Structure 1
Amino acid sequence: MKSHYTIIIQWSDEDQCYVVSLPEWGEFCHTHGETYSEALTNAQEVLELLVESAVKQGELLPEPNVFGTSLQAV
């Protein structure tokens, strides 16, 4: 699956793992991993499931945030 969705990976001192946010899918759409690589793999799997589920249910996919279009000029 090729997608252009945003994956934000950040270390969490509180959780002692990498926490992943998938902003186009809502503020509560998260996953995690003990390593950066595991967090990325988990994010890709979650995105695949989200897209498959939305398509299967006939829902519109969220519009991806694209560099240069979602950032305001400083």
Structure 2
Amino acid sequence: MMNKYEMIIHWSEEDQLFIAEVPELPGCMADGHSYQEAVSNAETIINEWIETAKNLGRTIPKPKGKLMYA
């Protein structure tokens, strides 16, 4: 499944890991020792987040693409 949710990826000095956050899916984030690993892990977590939401009968936000920040 191809995910179209925006990911924000940053380096965490505290954790010494890349962090990938998915703002459109509350609480959805992953980490990795490399940028690529963080993205790959986030793709897995996005699928798990969606599957869990379906199982619980919750609404799944539609991907909006690039978010606008002030």
Structure 2 length-normalised TM: 0.81
Equivalent position of 1:5 in the other structure? 5
One-letter amino acid of the counterpart of residue 40, structure 1 = V
| Cα distance in 2 for residues equivalent to 1:19 and 1:3 | 17
How many equivalent pairs are there? Answer: 70
SS in 2 for 1:31: strand
Q: Deviation of residue 52 (structure 1)? A: 1.1
SS in 2 for 1:6: coil
Equivalent position of 1:44 in the other structure? 43
Task: Extract unaligned runs of 5+ from structure 2.
Answer: none
Identical-residue share of aligned pairs (%): 33
SS in 1 for 2:6: coil
SS in 1 for 2:51: helix
SS in 2 for 1:52: helix
One-letter amino acid of the counterpart of residue 10, structure 1 = H
- CA deviation digits over 1:26-45, x for unaligned, max 9? 2x432100011110110000
| Cα distance in 2 for residues equivalent to 1:57 and 1:29 | 16
Structure 1 length-normalised TM: 0.77
| Cα distance in 2 for residues equivalent to 1:11 and 1:64 | 24
Is the radius of gyration larger for structure 1 or structure 2? 1
